[in-house]
Amino acid sequence: MNLLTRRQMLRRTVTSAAVLASTSSLAPLWAAPESRAFKIGACDWSIGKMATPDALDVAREIGLDGVQVSLGTEKDQMHLRQAAVQKRYLEVSARTGVALASLAIGELNNIPYKSDPRTIPWVSDAVDVLPAVGCRVVLLAFFGNGDLKGDRAGTDEVVRRLKEVAPKAEKQGVILGIESWLSAEEHMDIVDRVGSKAVQVYYDVANSEKMGYDIYREIRWLGKKGVICEFHAKENGALLGQGRVDFQKVRQAMDEIGYRGWMQIEGAVPPGGQMLPSYQANLKYLRSVFPPPA
């Protein structure tokens, strides 16, 4: 056996490190359930700092593990696509110790993915941004102008567009998460028609409760099919634990499907309440139900 030269050894070491770095964002969901932890973040728009790195400072004050970061807005041209903006986020993340948990394109509620051609490069570029900032999931929003409920033609177009971008997402090892008013079965119809492991469901418990769906059954059903990428922990007009969602039952359903990973707090401020104390209370409650590893 020939001895490796120093240069060969160095090359192999660098290559191995690069492979590990490229797959590190996937590791938490691949690990054995007992070795994975719940991580709790918040949506940047819910803590009053949409599309700005200042959200990470607010998250540190709350005590969160991370932030779901907006790709941007129409006005700033989805600025997280710019390397300089990515660098700024990563610098603030390193300083605060608050992770970039996942991305979101909330502007799709105003400028729909189902009909507006401007959104096609937004979603495609988000696939490239994800590994650049160390994230695995981007939420694609389908509310407001982008609502898919009862819109077969719009849903067909979304499926067509997702089929085009899914191979790129698969290659990058990232996930396009659909959040909408659709039921579990309607979401699954889209996932099945696209036919890619890169397209999954971003599950929002309060949305499903508002629509009258059995959220605990849906979590089990979708989870056992392996298509839930992340969760929103949300209430409409109440603190978490004081509203209509039973988070103890959510935890039981998550345990049954083996889910561990990110939960992003959204909404959950009572009428007249202030964001900061409300989110500190929400975090304290969630940690009592979804504790970090001992």
The pLDDT value recorded for residue 294 is 64
Dist CA 96 CA 57 (whole Å): 7
Q: What CATH superfamily classification does 31-289 receive?
A: Divalent-metal-dependent TIM barrel enzymes (3.20.20.150)
Tell me 144's DSSP state: G
User: By the 8 A CB rule, do 22 and 173 touch?
Assistant: yes
**Domain edges within the chain:** 31-289
Closest CA to 81 of 136, 124, 43, 25: 124
3-state secondary structure 43-83: ECCCCCCCCCCHHHHHHHHHCCCEEEEECCCCCCCCHHHCH
The pLDDT value recorded for residue 8 is 42
Dist CA 112 CA 114 (whole Å): 5
pLDDT band at 292 (very low <50, low <70, confident <90, very high): confident
Say which residue, 293 or 26, is predicted with more confidence.
293
Residues 6+ apart with CB under 8 A from 160: none
pLDDT band at 14 (very low <50, low <70, confident <90, very high): very low
Residue 294, CA atoms < 13 Å, CB-side half-sphere: 1
Least confident of 9-23, 56-70, 76-90, 263-277: 9-23
Residues 6+ apart with CB under 8 A from 56: 67, 89, 92, 93, 96, 98, 100
Residues 6+ apart with CB under 8 A from 284: none
- Quickly list DSSP for 97-125: T-EEEEEEEGGGGTS-TTT-TTHHHHHHH
Dist CA 53 CA 98 (whole Å): 11
The pLDDT value recorded for residue 36 is 63
Q: What is the pTM of this model?
A: 0.88
In residues, how long is the chain?
294
- pLDDT tens digits, one per residue of 81-97: 999 999 999 999 999 99
- pLDDT tens digits, one per residue of 237-253: 999 999 999 999 999 99
